[in-house]
Chain A
Amino acid sequence: MFLLALSGGDRYVAGAYLVFVFLVLAYLAIMAVKLARIEREVVELAEIAEQRDRPTEDKQPASERAKAKKETVA
Chain B
Amino acid sequence: MLTTAFALVFFYAPVDADQGIIQKIFYVHVPLAIVALCGFVAGGIFGLMHLRTRDRRWDMRSYVTIHLSIVLAVGVLITGSIWARASWGQWFVWDEPMLVVFLIVFLLYATYQPLRFSIEDPEKQSRYASVFAITAGAFVPLCFGAVRMAEGLTHPQAATMTTSGPASVSQTFLISLIGMALLFVTLCKYEMASKNATFKLRALRRRLAGEDDDFAAPVARSAAPQL
Contacts and interface: CB of A to CB of B under 8 A. Distances in A.
A34 B197 CA distance: 10
B165 to A, nearest CB: 17
A13 B75 CA distance: 14
Contact of B21 (A13, A31, A41): A13
A19 B71 CA distance: 12
Given A16-B29, A20-B75, A23-B75, A38 B201 contact: yes
Nearest to B29: A16
Interface in A1-17: 9-10, 12-13, 15-17
Contact of B25 (A16, A24, A41, A48): A16
A55 to B, nearest CB: 16
Given A20-B75, A20-B79, A45 B201 contact: yes
B12 interface: no
A35 interface: yes
B74 interface: yes
Question: Secondary structure of the A side of the interface?
Answer: helix
Contacts, number: 65
Interface string B171-215: 000000000000100010011001001100100110010010001
Interface residues of B, number: 33
Interface string B59-87: 00000000010011011001100110110
B22 A12 contact: yes
B197 to A, nearest CB: 5
B22 A19 contact: no
Nearest to A12: B86
B20 interface: yes
A13 B74 CA distance: 17
Contact of A12 (B82, B190, B194): B82
Interface of B: 6, 20-22, 24-25, 28-29, 32, 68, 71-72, 74-75, 78-79, 82-83, 85-86, 183, 187, 190-191, 194, 197-198, 201, 204-205, 208, 211, 215
19 contacts: A12-B85, A13-B24, A15-B82, A16-B82, A16-B83, A17-B6, A19-B75, A20-B79, A23-B71, A24-B183, A27-B71, A27-B187, A31-B194, A38-B194, A38-B197, A38-B198, A41-B201, A45-B208, A48-B215
